[in-house]
Structure 1
Amino acid sequence: MANNGCIKCGSQNAAKKEVAMTGTGLSKMFDVQKNEFIVVYCKNCGYSEFYNKQASTASNILDLFFG
């Protein structure tokens, strides 16, 4: 499959960050950040996609973003 870049602008310039977020209910009330994600974003237009950190491996995350 061809690597087409960002689905919004076509740029090949992407980066990734790890983020943690609260859930709902008690975890939100006590600010427990139990949900961990990897955010892959286009440095050109800012388009972002979230991937579950536990389900995704770091080696193929950019491949998922670029399709």
Structure 2
Amino acid sequence: MKTLNYTCPKCANTTYSIGQMRATGSFLTKLLNMQTEKYSTVTCKNCSYTEFYKAKTSALSNIFDLFGA
């Protein structure tokens, strides 16, 4: 896991956890329940403030998501 030089903008804490979130994009992907948008998250362990960063998704992962729904 890559270590970040992260300081929470709300409480100045330096401990954090990293996660990810997936979401639908357009109406069609919502209708088909395809999670085409992917975001990395950084959450402060002290105050739970969370920042989202858009991540790249591959066409292959979107196809697997369609069949896994």
Contact 1:4-1:10 within 8 A present in 2 as well: no
Q: Distance in 2 between matches of 1:4 and 1:38?
A: 14
Q: Secondary structure at the match of 2:40?
A: strand
**How many percent identity over aligned positions?**
35
Provide the aligned length of Structure 1 versus Structure 2: 52
Question: Max radius of gyration: which structure?
Answer: 2
Quick one: higher RCO (CA 8 Å, sep 6+), 1 or 2?
Answer: 1
Give the structure-2-normalised TM-score: 0.67
Q: Distance in 2 between matches of 1:48 and 1:39?
A: 7
Give the structure-1-normalised TM-score: 0.69
More helix by share: 2
After the TM superposition, list the runs of 4 or more consecutive aligned residues in structure 1 that deviate by more than 6 angstroms.
Answer: none
Q: Distance in 1 between matches of 2:18 and 2:48?
A: 11
Structure 2 unmatched ranges of 5 or more: 57-69
Q: Distance in 2 between matches of 1:21 and 1:4?
A: 25
Structure 1 unmatched ranges of 5 or more: 55-67
Match of 1:52 among 54, 63, 66: 54
